[in-house]
Amino acid sequence: MGQIQLKQVTKSFGDVQVIPPLDLTIGDGEFTVFVGPSGCGKSTLLRLIAGLEDITSGHIEIDGQDATTLVPAKRGLAMVFQSYALYPHMTVRKNIAFPLKMAKMDQDEIDRRVNAAAEVLNLADYIDRRPGQLSGGQRQRVAIGRAIVREPSAFLFDEPLSNLDAALRVGMRLEISELHERLKTTMIYVTHDQVEAMTMADKIVVLRAGNIEQVGSPLELYHKPRNLFVAGFIGSPK
């Protein structure tokens, strides 16, 4: 399960409202991309869903349950941070196991989950190395591994590939899409990159200044952009 609903959600920092009342439903198993220019509120929206920021008003429901006031750990979601958030002194295995250790899970179950994640992500060859001995792509896989072992009902990615070079980015995009095919878990993926949005998404949410300009499949947005902003941003001919 992994349906996420935002109902009349707003967010203000002081007097500045960065998210005006917003309604959005993210279906179970969907790969949804939030796309929009820098500063439009993508990260804020993701952090509200994760519970890393409190919403100012409205409700968030996860699988039909009110999650508005739940702390992040109780929401059953996993945020994938950029690869530099790994612990440099720990091996790959320990980095991946870390959230489970924190949750005091028993060691057999930790081993089972870490081994399963290592297989899905193909990281058996470097499981005993430390982050400093890994390439950017390998580090990104470890960061994803750390989310997978929690067996979340949804993964939240905030521009996970932005500090990788262009060639590596293309490969990692494919890997994340394949991971979604395999796990069929809800994923919300934030990017300012139109190409990422168009190639990865089941559903794209186009944001401008905290407002949803349009929600649709890549084809719908391309062929029927609602306005010039969407057309310009997606690169369609309207």
Q: Which residues bind ligand ADP (CB under 6 A)?
A: 13, 18, 36, 38-44
Q: Which distant-in-sequence residues (6+ apart) come within 8 Å of 8 by Cβ?
A: 21, 22, 23, 57, 58, 59
In the complex, least distance from residue 46 CB atom to ligand ADP, rounded to whole angstroms: 8
43 binds Mg ion (CB under 5 A): yes
The binder of 39, among ligand ADP, Mg ion, none, by C-beta within 5 to 8 A per type, is ligand ADP
Q: Which is nearer to ligand ADP, 186 or 191 (CB)?
A: 191
Q: Does 163 bind Mg ion (CB under 5 A)?
A: no
SS3 33: strand
Tokens encoding 177? 């899409």
Spatial distance between the Cα atoms of 136 and 213, rounded to a whole number of angstroms: 34
Vertex 131 angle, CA 130 and 137, to 5°: 135
44 binds, among ligand ADP, Mg ion, none (CB under 5 to 8 A by kind): ligand ADP
18-26, 35-43, 60-68, 109-117 -> range binding Mg ion (CB under 5 A): 35-43
Q: With respect to ligand ADP, which residue has the nearer C-beta, 44 or 82?
A: 44
How far apart are the C-alpha atoms of 210 and 222, rounded to whole Å?
21
Residue 82 and residue 42: Cα distance in Å, rounded? 15
Could you tell me the smallest distance in angstroms from the CB atom of residue 232 to ligand ADP? 17
Part in contact with Mg ion (CB under 5 A); list of ranges 18-26, 43-51, 55-63, 178-186: 43-51
